[in-house]
Chain A
């Protein structure tokens, strides 16, 4: 949930900078080629940590001023694990909601709509017979994902629906989750 104390039409989004970046990347398409990366280290059991900091983009290697971020993933005690972090699949749901919500704020700012509050609830259905290897007809991943948005904003219901629709159209994680992606795993 994101709340701004005094709603402004920019919703905390620097829309001028984003539009400037869009124009710059339109004029120089190679700068738009990005590579995101992280380093995952096993800790114990199902607990591991992923550190992210550097990425490639705008034609060169980039490093965050913040020093980067660390995310832990684990399984809850229901699977006899230590619950040192959210499950990886919950992280996927977090990423999906986080990406679409970021889009809602950005699209709203671009359309001059001030947001007061945005709350998304997200659910993914999964049949564990897949990952447990019980039934080979069941897929490992989600068989259905639902997101519900509650948005308070200075806009009509249709305008708010249009924000959420446009945000999905421009969301990286929404695309990643809804469309096939080639993944290559190597061992060195």
Chain B
């Protein structure tokens, strides 16, 4: 079993999120900052679109040959003195990692940010094994103190305000002067740096994720801004990389292509501050670096996505652009999605990984505005795949009865144009009559949830279909 999901309760989660004032304030930063920064970075690189195509093609080629590239990757890691461990499930990945830690007598492990670590519930498993996990990415550290999960895949604490972070630091860092000034974000960062520095130096094992696993060289790559991932993997006795199968990338040149779209899409930087290529453990004569280098490659349902209509999702490089541009994410934040991966990519990936029964509700959290696909550096057809999931949810009778009956009622008319046309004509005329004068309606039968928050613009009279017919007639007479 992986991390517990509350994805089924999406509607309730979303309602709660929309009433949470401090969350709404925090989310306003996402709406403005991330989108503007990405756009500025994209505007400065004329080849951005060509690089998106190139990156998509690289991943498509890789996924079509994934078994062979994975074999090569394993051979190259072994050649460099590292050890590759394969894990079919979250449980296998957790026990592999715990076994390595136990063999080394590890008491504390530092961790770089890893969404796969969240996916397999690694921290709880380590704690249960008597090993203390310390998250070292600032955002991850904050939410670990709060016993929360990340609400964003690249900005885990994006749902919190500065005041909340200050309160948490005062609670957690009791040995520090209670009178200290923590009003500025920079003082909070300085405090985290100081506290975590001791943890880095004391850790027995360092665990990181990976943005790429390079088949050509047996190299794992992490991309960070803080440098925490590098301290995590450089200082302890052993470095464990936890990554999923789709991170495999054929060559260093292929990595160079994708790196050009990754940071620009994520934070609007040309390059993240630290892009680190790791190949095997410490070598003869090296004055630093880990003595052991392990890679745990997790499947957890991904190999079954190959060759299906959800294969495109395996191109995802976890930049977060889809959620940064999603009106639904902007409104409800990441926690409402109820599992590890939020936003449009989460809405597609979650049902693939934990099943349509648990996660099938998430693809309904979309307005189908298409912005996620428009900004996705890997050109993943996210709305199309959400539609596929909605179809499956409907087919499997998982959607609510009211919705199903409503759709059936509508379908009855839609399939009978001779009935549909006069019925909609009548309905539109009635609504236009009711809304005359002010041009909007403050109440609608069966749509109270809509009109509770905003007025419904009243129809102008003719239906779309009647206008379309008139237009076609006009064209024909020309």
Tell me whether A and B are bound partners: no
Give chain A's interface residues, CB within 8 Å of chain B: none
